[in-house]
Amino acid sequence: MADLVLVTSPQLKEEFEANGINRVAVWRKGIDTVRFSPTFKTQAMRDQLGGGPAPLPGAQPESPLMIYVGRLAVEKRLQDLLPVLVAHPTARLALVGTGPAKEELEEMFKEAGMGDRVTFTGQLSGDALSSAFASADCFVMPSDSETLGFVVLEAMASGVPVVGARAGGIPGLIQDGSFT
């Protein structure tokens, strides 16, 4: 009975239409490209996120630094980042945010011998958050249940490439190395 139903991704639009819902449109997302910009990149933040200038044997300040920003919860599939760290012995990971899986994740990375390669920053905001996004080499989004993906857009606006799950609303943002 609505004049228009707004959904957050092309995938949801297809699902709604497949279930007989008419007049469905995708709500295009927008983010603040002044707040999220490559201009916030700093070596100091990169060092903070990576545990210092060269925290690992063989690592250098330019060693790969991945970042995740969001809620630390089981459904975000952050445990799936462990094999990535195993496969890339000098890579570092910064997890920005808080949530119910924080202690479990800390223990998992520690038990796997990755405790010195993973930094938990807690929640960041303002210039610190902008700098965190811009100072990483890659944004990782392992969650397969995202519907909006604002953090993906914020990472892209910050000049940071994104590796994300091909699920939920994320494929509507990442297409063949570009975004829509």
Where residue 121 sits, what CATH number does that domain have?
Answer: 3.40.50.2000
Residue 126 has pLDDT above 90, yes or no: yes
Give the structural domain span for 124.
31-179
Q: What is the pLDDT of residues 32-76, one digit of tens each?
A: 999 999 999 999 999 999 876 555 555 555 689 999 999 999 999
Q: Indicate the number of domains in the chain.
A: 2
- 39 with 101, same domain: the answer is yes
- 154 with 175, same domain: the answer is yes
- 76 with 64, same domain: the answer is yes
- pTM of the model as a whole: 0.84
- 23 with 43, same domain: the answer is no
Contact 51, 119 (CB under 8 A): yes
- pLDDT for residue 172: 76
- 46 with 76, same domain: the answer is yes
- pLDDT for residue 86: 94
- 18 with 74, same domain: the answer is no
Residue 104 has pLDDT above 60, yes or no: yes
Question: What integer is the mean pLDDT of 111-139?
Answer: 95
More confident residue, 177 or 95: 95
- 14 with 76, same domain: the answer is no
- 17 with 52, same domain: the answer is no
- 24 with 38, same domain: the answer is no
With CA atoms as reference, report the closest residue to 53 among 66, 44, 40, 42: 44
